[in-house]
Amino acid sequence: MADPATAPGDSPAARAQTIALVDDDRNILTTLSISLQAEGFATRVYTDGETALKALLDNPPDLAIFDIKMPRMDGLSLLQALRAQSSLPVIFLTSKDEEPDEALGLAMGADDYITKPFSQRLLVARIRAILRRSELTRTPSDAAAAEGLPELVVRGRLQLDPARHQVTWEGEPVSLTVTEFLILEALATRPGVVKSRNQLMDAAYSEDVYVDDRTIDSHIKRLRRKFRAVDPEFGAIDTLYGAGYSFSDA
């Protein structure tokens, strides 16, 4: 059941960023919720994946944190169902013996994971890092340039707006996760240059998140699938077997 707690001072004029917490351990939910509210976030809590999924789609928060092991719908199933309809940033909470689940979660589109037990300071730092990368700004383009925000990246039919985390292909919007966006940005900013999987890992993940080659391959497959939903002939992401990937849209 959801607990629509909000941080003190939350208002339409200065809305606190909202974090959804999904875990069947009510003690963890209470502890995390109190800690995050103390940091200025609003929180919503859910004790099972099925309840959380509907709420996350009907009223999306700014970021969600899932435990992997839950009744009714576990964290991996919840992520899979969510990714079919949403690019909401997601952090996994895992135990030390859940390394295969960590890798699978990242390959399925999670933005980060944290291993239990963890410090509240580490969790807050990870949350803020992802929100900085994914937050949509509403600054007009000329004002964005004056403030030193990243400029638009235009490569043929592709347009990326890093400041707003927006992507279009032939004018049609393409919804990407934070990780997918960063991988695409790394490729598109240097068209024709082959980026190795390690280089794409460095572009998409923080230094202390470890992923394997298959994770990057899974992200590339999802990127191609999303663009082909807009343009069935999309072929701008090239594979150089044994070397990596490049972007080319002449």
Question: What residue ranges do the domains of the chain occupy?
Answer: 18-134, 141-247
204-227 residue pLDDT tens: 876 655 556 677 888 898 899 899
Q: What is the pLDDT of residues 119-131, one digit of tens each?
A: 888 888 888 888 8
Q: Is there a shared CATH topology between the 18-134 domain and the 141-247 domain? A: no
Residues paired with 158 in a beta bridge: 155, 169
Tokens 């701008």 appear where?
236
pLDDT confidence of 185, banded at 50, 70, 90? very high
The whole-number average pLDDT for the span 129-158 is 63
**C-alpha closest to that of 102 among 120, 90, 114:** 114
CB distance 211 to 220 below 8 Å:
no
Task: Name the architecture of domain 18-134.
Answer: 3-Layer(aba) Sandwich (3.40)
Distance of CA 135 to the CA centre of its chain: 11
pLDDT of 36 reads 93
Q: In terms of Cα–Cα distance, which of 146, 118, 49, 131 is closest to 89? A: 131
| Arch. (CATH architecture) of 141-247 | Orthogonal Bundle (1.10)
Cβ atoms within 10 A of the Cβ of 246, count? 18
Predicted model pTM: 0.62
